[in-house]
Amino acid sequence: MTVFRGLALVLILSCFSSCCLPNVSSVITPSDSDGFLQCLSENIPSGLIYTQAASNFIDMLVSSVRNPRLFSNAMVRPLGIVTPVDVSHVQAAVRCGRANGVRLRRPGEVFGVVDLSNLRAITVSDDDERPVPTAWVDSGATLGELYYTIAKNNSEMAFPAGICPTIGVGGHFSGGGIGMMMRRFGLSIDNVLDAKLVDTSGDLVDRAAMGEDHFWAIRGGGGESFGIVVSCGSDLVPTLNSSFPELGMTSADCLEMTWLQSAAFFNFWNRYTPV
């Protein structure tokens, strides 16, 4: 049963669900592949596209592989990898894929990949209309970058997410976002209040435009299953500033540090890790 559940999870990780596009995987032809690559070259700068014929294709393919066991000679390779530096490039890739019957992020058949690692902007702002500050973060940013930016902008605020600083925000949020602060503030997705997503038509939509059902699905249901989430807007949470005498602890039992320092401590187990 575990094997079948795992396989089912793999099968849903597609930017295009079968209900949105015709099933062309069984009839894909070389001309479809050529059309896809030609469309990319006409709409996206060449320096952002890596095809199988490129000398640095393999380097780009393995650049984000954290587990070496996932890379072997038997690994199915995408037709091309797009590394957008602007949301318009993501939209172009989706439209090219749809027009030529090529799915994105769909291993096991003819597919392409959109690598969001260049989209990593983070903005922290205080809105007088909201009770707490908010942060907009691109999906390509890492948790470490998000934590650092929040702490440098407002040392009294934090965000509940994982303890590994190299985890990508997009994947972490789309899977729910479990972290050390969830018992107090919930999962990461519980604090996400808006998102910008490129849908299966290549349109950029926010929460209002995509609808509440779609917005609910991308928060924990696997972001790539319902479009490409390019950024999220989230409420920040206050850092701990209280004492709990009922715990019976003294200052000798504790190590006092900032939230940013504690995030580094839980990952490296070294209180002197520079932040």
DSSP state of 226: S
pTM for this model (two decimals): 0.79
CA 238, distance to chain mean position in Å, is: 24
pLDDT at site 223: 57
CA 45, distance to chain mean position in Å, is: 23
- Domain annotation for the chain: domains and CATH numbers: 9-114 (3.30.43.10), 122-238 (3.30.465.10)
pLDDT tens digits, one per residue of 17-64 = 333 333 333 344 444 899 999 999 999 999 999 999 999 999 999 887
- What average pLDDT does this structure show over 227-249? 85
Reply yes or no on whether the pLDDT at 267 is more than 90. no
pLDDT tens digits, one per residue of 115-139 = 999 999 999 998 767 778 999 999 9
Count CB neighbours of 43 within 10 A.
15
Asked if 114 and 105 touch (Cβ cutoff 8 Å), the reply is yes
- What average pLDDT does this structure show over 232-254? 81
Reply yes or no on whether the pLDDT at 108 is more than 50. yes
pLDDT at site 107: 54
pLDDT at site 37: 96
Give 129: exposed, middle or buried? Use CB within 10 Å, 0-12, 13-18, 19+: exposed
pLDDT at site 173: 92
Reply yes or no on whether the pLDDT at 77 is more than 50. yes
Asked if 133 and 127 touch (Cβ cutoff 8 Å), the reply is yes
Distance CA 249, CA 116 (A): 45
